[in-house]
Chains A and B, each alone.
Chain A
Amino acid sequence: MSLRDRPRSEQLLIVCGVAGLLVGAAFAPIVWDRATEPEGTVAVVEMHGTITGETATAVTDNLREARQNDSIDAVVLDINSPGGTAAASEQLYLSVKRTQQEMPVVTSVTGMAASGGYYMTAPADHIYVTPASSVGSVGVRAVLPPDGAPPGEITTGPDKGSTATDAETRRRVETLRRAFVGSVVEERNGTLDLTASELSYAKLYSGARGVEVGLADSVGGIDAAVDDAAAQASLARHDVVRMESPQPSILGQLGLSAPDQAVAGSAVSTQPTFDYRGVDTVQYLMVHGSVADPQTEVNPNATR
């Protein structure tokens, strides 16, 4: 029985049914996309290499963008840094802390989070490490220039060259230590199994030991960190966007002074990236390892 032989009401029903299918099929891709669309984005912000004013600014910008961008719901910090200058490390700490107040921040220590590198790690909601990665070295050092003004230089005051007396420099280092240690104790409140005095030894701990003493939370890779961040932001489906660490200088890219990136289990060798061109000044560093200057206030400690 053909369609023409059917009653008129049935003909209309069939035509409407077919038309409905066609229209539905036309909308199907849109509905599919909507149904499978990610609910949000997890931004992976890198901090690889030494912390200088330049690298800290780039990472701070990335974190600010994460806060401003509506599509980003959580941040994962990918940290592999031996630290750097004290001032830049404090900037990063404040930036991470500010971001953590807005959205979940989870850290994955992919190599080393030492000294200033740990400073910016501390405010995270959760810190993932691997057995071979390392955390800690919570300490500050002041690298002192040689005494006295060099010949051929006239200054307007006795402290213009050295910036301060030795006693004042010691007090300043102590001030920075209190801020650093106090911040870590504050951020890791409840999980830290070290006293402020023990933390001040500035030991660098292996990842496994870091979990034990409470400087990290659990063992896991960066994917675990991303999943955790998404879960904390209540994202059933999520995209991942990576905000890469600033590239080293041109010389570094040419391999002339490139920082050695950490292979699993090996230490990162620090580079003298803190040169103040042509001027020798007191430098306050939050960096792990030995700086090529005998006059250091805080000695590094061996990895346990």
Chain B
Amino acid sequence: MQLGDLAQPLATFGLALLLVVGATAGTAIVAGELTDTSTQPDVESFQPDSLLPTPVADEGAVGAPDAATPKTVVVDVSHGNDVSRADMQPLVNSLVGAGHEVQFFSGGSSNFGPPAGAESPLSTELQEADALVIANPATAYSDDEVDSIEAFTTGGGKLLLLADTPTRASSSTPALPGLPTTGSTAAASGQPTNVAGRFGITFGSGYLYDMTDNANNFQYVYGDPAGSDELSAEADRTVFREAVPLVTRDAATTVVESSDARLSSTRENGTFAVAARSGNVVAVGDTWFLSPDAATLADNEQLVGDIASFLVTDQGGAGLAPASGGGAALSDGTVDPSPTPPANGTNTTA
């Protein structure tokens, strides 16, 4: 066969090949137009400008309190208190930095020996103290202890009561063994209810939340100063986490309040007291604001500094008239043994 004889079949083959490839390409181009032609939706709610929340100002430092003489602040951890030095480091640093002493009292198992008679270790410890901090106790304070604490404040000692929502503490810290307490746990364990009740203050059971005006989460509510107490005069806007509302009566007055908040248990809307004061006693329905995470948020550093001052300052503040006559009155161990009759000493929670 001559080469020329193959020309026609080869040409036919090439033509057929071109036809097939061309048809495929053409079809592919047409088909290509059928692919996803939709466009990315424009989602207004995804625009970063409207999405990113404004951070809560976190600057400043907790100021050091002024006090002429060094004082001793006792933090009670002998009742299974759900609080540690790390939880209130800014307050401790502030006090220690100003020359005061902070002791965490765990029951005096070794220093004081077995408790003698009816005198509880806490009562003994108070004789050396100028201020007492009670936060989130797992067990109730006995009547004798509450009497001692009341006498302590009457004698010029300062008392700071702190509590979170009750369920948090009760599950994590069991009662310490060997304590001369009655062993009865208060119904609202985790809150120093019977101590606070003696001073006309009651801690609530739910927590406060605010769905609109909050510190980037509904459980982080803002507090505003209430009244003209020096404790909160400089703290225009404070932040609390799951704050417990306080109910006050008698001489106790609200110092910090959260307005337009709601209570988790009832969903009730209103203005709730977060911090209250009754003479030498201050109660706050939160412990988180003392923590390193929170102590410099918003104006919290001002409130923490004012609380530090409150603990070590002799004068209770404007309008407060505890018959202290000098902050070091207890340093010689003379505790007024006569308990004041509890006018409204019942601590039944309403």
Contacts and interface: CB of A to CB of B under 8 A. Distances in A.
A171 B45 contact: no
Interface in B33-87: 34-36, 38-41, 43-46, 50-53, 55-56, 58
A166 B293 CA distance: 8
Contact of A101 (B39, B52, B55): B39
A101 B217 contact: no
A130 interface: no
A70 B34 contact: yes
Contacts of B53: 171, 174-175, 178
Contacts of A166: 293
Contacts of A94: 40-41, 43
Contacts, number: 69
Given A101-B39, A167-B55, A167-B58, A178 B45 contact: yes
A173 B217 contact: yes
Contact of B45 (A173, A185, A201): A185
B34 A68 contact: yes
B211 interface: yes
A67 B38 contact: yes
Chain A: interface size category: 20 to 34
B40 A98 contact: yes
B334 interface: no
A279 B45 CA distance: 32
B24 interface: no
B289 to A, nearest CB: 13
Given A67-B36, A183-B46, A175 B218 contact: no
Given A167-B293, A171-B55, A297-B217, A197 B43 contact: no
Chain B CB within 10 Å, residue with most, of A94, A165, A170, A179: A170
A175 B52 contact: yes
A97 interface: yes
Contact of B218 (A67, A98, A186, A200): A200
B344 interface: no
Contacts of B38: 67, 98-99, 101-102
Contacts of B44: 182, 186
A64 interface: yes
A94 B42 CA distance: 9
Interface in B214-243: 215-218, 220
A8 B45 CA distance: 83
Contact of A170 (B34, B35, B40, B216): B216
B41 A68 contact: no
Contacts of A178: 45, 50-51, 53
Contacts of B216: 167, 170-171, 174
Interface in B286-305: 293, 297
Interface in A54-108: 64, 67-68, 70, 94, 97-99, 101-102
Chain A CB within 10 Å, residue with most, of B36, B58, B215: B36
B349 interface: no
B168 to A, nearest CB: 10
B39 A64 contact: no
B212 interface: yes
A87 B284 CA distance: 39
Interface string B264-291: 0000000000000000000000000000
A64 B36 contact: yes
Contacts of B58: 167
Given A166-B293, A174-B216, A200 B41 contact: no
Contacts of B36: 64, 67-68
Contact of B41 (A101, A175, A182): A101
A102 B46 CA distance: 21
A227 B45 CA distance: 31
A64 B37 CA distance: 10
Contacts of A68: 34-36
Interface in A98-141: 98-99, 101-102
Nearest to A102: B38
Interface string A181-199: 1110110000000000100
Contacts of A64: 36
Contacts of B34: 68, 70
Contacts of A183: 43, 45-46
B243 to A, nearest CB: 16
Given A70-B34, A94-B43, A183-B45, A170 B217 contact: yes
A197 B44 CA distance: 18
A167 B217 CA distance: 10
22 contacts: A67-B36, A68-B35, A70-B34, A94-B41, A94-B43, A98-B40, A99-B38, A101-B39, A101-B41, A102-B38, A167-B216, A171-B53, A171-B55, A173-B217, A174-B216, A175-B51, A178-B53, A179-B46, A182-B45, A182-B51, A183-B46, A186-B45
Interface of A: 64, 67-68, 70, 94, 97-99, 101-102, 165-167, 170-171, 173-175, 178-179, 181-183, 185-186, 197, 200-201, 297
Given A170-B215, A183-B46, 13 more contacts: A68-B34, A68-B36, A165-B293, A171-B52, A171-B55, A174-B216, A175-B52, A178-B50, A182-B50, A183-B43, A183-B45, A186-B45, A197-B211
Interface of B: 34-36, 38-41, 43-46, 50-53, 55-56, 58, 211-212, 215-218, 220, 293, 297
Considering the complex of A and B, which 3 residue pairs feature the smallest CB-CB distances, nearest first? A182-B45, A97-B41, A197-B211
